[in-house]
Amino acid sequence: MGRALRGLPYRWYARRLSARLRAAGPGALPRHVAVAMDGNRRWARQAGYADPTIGHRFGAEHVDELLTWCAAIGIGHVTVYVASSDNLRKRSSDEVGHLMRMVEEVVATRLASPSHRWRLHVAGRLDELPDSTRDALKLAVSSTAGRSEGLELTVAIGYDGRQEIVDAVRSYLDDGGSADDLTPDDIARHLYTRGQPAPDLVIRTSGEQRLSGFLIWQAAHAELYFCDAYWPGFRQVDFLRALRTYARRKAAGMVDA
C-alpha cells in the first residue's frame, strides 16, 4: 500500500504532462522519434547487479514500454539504436552474445507475437550479426509486414551512419545512376531506412551528448534531446519531458518544419 501511494504523484504528473501535450495538438508532437538506448551496463552496476550485462535484458524489455508510450500519445514512427557495428567489433564476445540473445528472445519474439501492433523494419548490415539473430529479425519483419495500424518500428543493429551513406551511394551506382547526377534525394532513396520519414526528435539516454553515428543523414534537421537517465531507468515522465521540450521549441519556431 505504501509503495502504491508513493507512486501516485508520479502517475499524476505523467497523466498531467500527457494531457497537456495532447491538448497542444498533433502538430506540436514529433511524427518520428529515434532513441539511442544507452547505459544498460551502467544502470545494472548502479542497481547492484554483479553481472552488468544483465542490463541488456532490462534494456530490451524496456523497448515495449517505449512503444506503448508512443502509441498512446499518437507517435507512429520509432527507431531504436540497439547496437552499432563498432559495438559488435569492440565489445567482448560474451557480451555481444548476450545482447544478441536478448534481441532474439525479447525484441524479435515479442514483436512477432500476433498480439503486437507494430510493424518491424531493420536498419544495418545484417551480415554482421550471428545467423540466429539475423534469422529471428527476418522472421519478425516477415510476420509483421501485414500490419496496417500505421505503427512502424525500425531497429538499428549492426549499424553505422557513415557506412550507410557509403552503401547508399554504391547502391545508387549499382542501379545505374550517374555520379554526375547524384542528388541528396538519390541517397535518401538508397538508405537502409528508405521509405520511412526522417526523425523529428532524437533522444539519447545516459548523459552522453553525441550521436555516435546514429542516423547522421536522416537526423540532419532533427531536434536533439539528451537525458541523464540510463536507458532501463528512462521513465515515461522523462519521455514526456523530451516531448514537451520539442513542443516548446517548435512553438517558438526553433524546430525545422
Please give the positions annotated as active site.
Answer: 38, 87
CA distance readout (Å), 185 to 44, 162, 182, 188, 234? 42, 17, 8, 5, 35
Is residue 43 within 8 A of residue 58, CB to CB? The reply is yes
What is the Cα–Cα distance from 207 to 195, expressed in whole angstroms?
Answer: 31
Q: CB–CB of 82/155 below 8 Å?
A: yes
How is residue 242 written as a grid cell?
A: 523530451
What residue type is assigned to position 238 of the chain?
A: D
Contact assessment for residue 103 and residue 137, using Cβ atoms and an 8 Å cutoff: yes
CA neighbor of 24 nearest in space, from 221, 252, 239: 252
